[in-house]
Amino acid sequence: MSTLREIRTPADPARGEQARPPRFTRKQINTAIWFAVLMASTAIVLYPLVWLLVSTFKDNSEFGQNQGLIPNDPTFDNYAKVFEGIAGVPMWRFFANSTVIAVAATFGTLLSSSMAAYAFARIRFRGVGIFFAAMIGTLLLPFHVVIIPQYIMFNNLGMIDTYWPLILPKFLATEAFFVFLMVQFMRGIPREMDEAARVDGAGHVRTFASIMLPLIQPALVTSAIFSFIWTWNDFLAPLMYITSPDKYPLPIALRLYNDQTSTSDYGATVTASFIALIPILLFFLVFQRFLVAGVATQGLKG
């Protein structure tokens, strides 16, 4: 592994500063502009979310009537109602269900997709072209037309009203999005990196685990973020496979305040969906930090 160490000399953090004469004013001006531009665009992008947050304090009857930001008559009723739970199922239960599904799905996606991506990007084997095309092909078919056949399959496996139809596919890399994403990142890694390891006698398993995975960390972090958030928000799959209300994940629970055939509580809906955002926002806050400290940013030779 000596070759590796030579290539991966850590970057000197001070180097950039030393290379240039100190031009503080220009840099400060640039940073100020940078900050101003980002602040302005952030304000625009966040306004609808602020509106949503404030409207959790609106009475149900204000929805559709008062489209302004400020509630006419601020109230905590929506929160009180949401924390009561739905039909005897406490709210935390839906959060727990969603967490279990999302954590398992994310783990499965990372594991199976990175393996498949490594095969597509770095191993030359018979049929790789056909399978790659097939993998891209699975992206193209609208999900809705395979709902019924998939339901029949999982029904025959006796998996209805369990989380397995939601989790098992993730361990089998059925989401081509992630496989393709990782393929693209792996192909961006200079081949010298793994070839050096191969010359040292490392097999594919070791090259994959100790060279490739660390190098595509930004892609893994990205995939983890998306996989977690998308699973958290997935509505259609749990709708099909989960029948017991105490096993519902959040996206289904959120809709239970609305019924077009009787009454809808928009206040509770908005409040519940806002609270549902908090865990994934935290997840994003934690994981986005790894986008900075990617190993790959350290001294790769181009």
From 1, 23, 36, 51, residue interacting with another protein (rule: CB under 8 A): 51
Nearer to another protein, 3 or 198 (CB): 198
- Angle, to 10 degrees, between the axis of helix 217-233 and the axis of helix 266-288? 170
Q: H-helix or E-strand containing 102?
A: helix 91-122
From 5, 10, 145, 201, residue interacting with another protein (rule: CB under 8 A): 145
Closest residue by Cα to residue 115 from 168, 107, 10, 24: 107
160 contacts: CB under 8 Å, gap ≥ 6 = 154, 241, 243
Give the CA distances from residue 25 to residues 13, 15, 28, 41, in Å, rounded to whole numbers and listed in that order: 21, 20, 5, 24
From 1, 29, 47, 90, residue interacting with another protein (rule: CB under 8 A): 47
| 212 contacts 189 by C-beta, under 8 angstroms | yes
DSSP helix/strand/coil, 114: helix
DSSP helix/strand/coil, 89: strand
What distance lies between CA 158 and its chain's CA centroid?
Answer: 29
Closest residue by Cα to residue 108 from 154, 166, 172: 172
Tell me the site size for another protein, rule CB under 8 A. Answer: 168
Interface residues for another protein in 156-215 (CB under 8 A)? Answer: 157-162, 164, 167-169, 171-174, 177, 179-181, 183-192, 195, 198-199, 203-206, 208-210, 213-214
From 91, 105, 221, 237, residue interacting with another protein (rule: CB under 8 A): 221
103 binds another protein, rule: CB under 8 A: no
Binding mask 53-92 for another protein (x = CB under 8 A): --x---xxxxxxx-x------------------xxx----
From 9, 28, 31, 32, residue interacting with another protein (rule: CB under 8 A): 31
CA 194, CA 181: separation in Å to the nearest integer? 19
Nearer to another protein, 2 or 20 (CB): 20
CA 156, CA 150: separation in Å to the nearest integer? 10
105 binds another protein, rule: CB under 8 A: no
100 binds another protein, rule: CB under 8 A: no
Integer-rounded Cα Rg, in Å, for the chain is: 24
From 41, 70, 76, 92, residue interacting with another protein (rule: CB under 8 A): 41
26 binds another protein, rule: CB under 8 A: no
Interface residues for another protein in 257-286 (CB under 8 A)? Answer: 257-266, 268-270, 273-274, 276-277, 280-281, 284-285
120 binds another protein, rule: CB under 8 A: yes
Minimum CB distance to another protein, residue 95 (Å): 14
Interface residues for another protein in 228-257 (CB under 8 A)? Answer: 229, 232-235, 239-240, 243-245, 251-252, 254-257
Nearer to another protein, 41 or 96 (CB): 41
Closest residue by Cα to residue 253 from 59, 89, 60: 89
Closest residue by Cα to residue 170 from 246, 252, 230: 230
